[in-house]
Structure 1
Amino acid sequence: MLQHIAIIMDGNGRWAQARGLSRSQGHEAGSRQISVIAKAAAELGVKILTLYAFSTENWKRPAAEVNFLMGLISRYSDERLSEMQENGVRLRCMGRIDQLPALVRRSVHKTMQATAGNSRLILNIALNYGGRAEIVDAVNAILQEPRRAGRISEADFQRYLYAPELPDPELLIRTGGELRISNFLLWQLSYSEIYVSDKCWPDFGKEELLAALAEYESRSRRYGGL
């Protein structure tokens, strides 16, 4: 069984529109699906689930929607803490967390600390995350170090990424049918298999996850070889 799945959770707004609901209601439905997929992934033996929750570009959305999403993230972190403890889930966040509102920072840090000892599944949430931003931040961190002789290797560079201890995802799933990676994990996805589901995120359940895993298992990963 693969270790690490990454998911671009797309389609909350379209899901809501198709049902005559508000975008906020779509995001609410999407947040509930996180627990469904996290539980299913853990049951299937997946060790790391990375979810793209809020990108560095999402600040361009209307202020009311951004404020709602910030509140939703904070509430999810607070309200799902006991569930994470019961299921052995460790919360981890990656991105420019220091730029998030104080309420969100407090909530996620509290839950990360409380679940730090859990080991069944790492739920790695990308918040205020962008693949280009991560690479730029890594370069700037390297430049802050005293000058050293020699060239920087890929392994050296990776130590400065947001989650250097995590293996690269073997599988990227994108819901909602769009065919792009949207500035997500640009370094880490170099050899990940990509699976696109036409289901919008609120409709993506365990059955759809199993279909993605079956497709993954049918592929031959060659890493540039034969």
Structure 2
Amino acid sequence: MSEKVLPVHVGFIVDGNRRWAKAQGLSAQEGHSAGYEKLREIIIDTIDRGVPYVSAYIFSTENWHRSGPEVKHLMNLVVQMLTRDLHIFVEHGIRLRVAGTRVRLSRRVKKAIDEAEAATKDLTHGTAILSFNYGGHQEIIDAVNTLRKTLSTHKKVTAQIFEQFLYTPDVPPCDLIVRTSGEQRLSNFMLWRSAYSELIFVKKSWPDMTKRDITAILNEYAKRSRRFGG
């Protein structure tokens, strides 16, 4: 019997923390904390199943419009993942990458990102990409601006050249994008890398996700026929 086909890169749009919290009679911050615990579990479990790249959309460039206390709590959770809880990823051999703009980030957050990426750069069990302070439009705009400064104006730009200027140029396209909470849209996630992504929308909120859900998602992906327009 042939082995099940696995995606090379799964992207999770982490959605529903606040709605989950409201249904439980909890604060938005408590919902994000529950979502953070689930994030660690799902990243590790997905990579342990043989998926080499897992990305998670954890803070968008639009999320700055949320309340000050909520934004501060989200920043603290990211720093916690990159510092106090970094050993969990190291023990599992998982490299951490952060994709997003550095605009508006504090010195403390940027330091945590740099140190976590440096500490895990040689780990090979799998790669987790945190899409943090990330927007698909902004990634493309930043790539264009960097490209303009780097390439000769006479050089023809191809897709292969353009990809070299994305936030994490060595990360492959998303084979599969999963969004929780029942919403059915990309919300500015991985716009360049989602051209031929398979999409799966899960009704439950992110904190309710389980390893069984990952099994179901990967089984569903294995049934899909990917023709890439052919």
Q: TM-score range by the shorter chain?
A: over 0.9
- After TM superposition, list the pairs within 5 Å mapping 1:39-188 onto structure 2: 39-188=44-193
For the pair 1:23 / 2:15, whether they are aligned, the reply is no
TM-score, normalising length: structure 1: 0.96
For the pair 1:208 / 2:210, whether they are aligned, the reply is no
Quote the RMSD (CA, aligned, Å).
1.1
For the pair 1:4 / 2:9, whether they are aligned, the reply is yes
Could you tell me which runs of 5 or more consecutive residues in structure 2 were left unpaired when the two chains were aligned: 1-5
For the pair 1:199 / 2:200, whether they are aligned, the reply is no
Matched residue type, 2:185: R
More divergent stretch after superposition (99-108 vs 203-212):
99-108
Give runs of ≥4 in structure 1 deviating > 4 Å. Answer: none
Aligned pairs, number: 225
What is the deviation of 1:35? 1.5
What is the deviation of 1:78? 1.3
Tell me, in whole angstroms, the C-alpha distance in 1 between the residues paired with 2:58 and 2:36: 9
What secondary structure, in the 3-state scheme, does the structure 1 residue paired with 2:44 have? helix
What is the deviation of 1:2? 1.7
Matched-pair contact (CA < 8 Å) for 1:169–1:192: yes
Matched-pair contact (CA < 8 Å) for 1:52–1:127: yes
TM-score, normalising length: structure 2: 0.95
Tell me, in whole angstroms, the C-alpha distance in 2 between the residues paired with 1:167 and 1:11: 27
| Cα deviation digits, residues 148-167 of structure 1 (max 9, x gap) | 42421111111111111011
Tell me, in whole angstroms, the C-alpha distance in 1 between the residues paired with 2:79 and 2:123: 20
| Cα deviation digits, residues 187-215 of structure 1 (max 9, x gap) | 10000100000111111121111111111
Q: Percent identity?
A: 39
Matched-pair contact (CA < 8 Å) for 2:7–2:221: no
What is the deviation of 1:116? 1.2
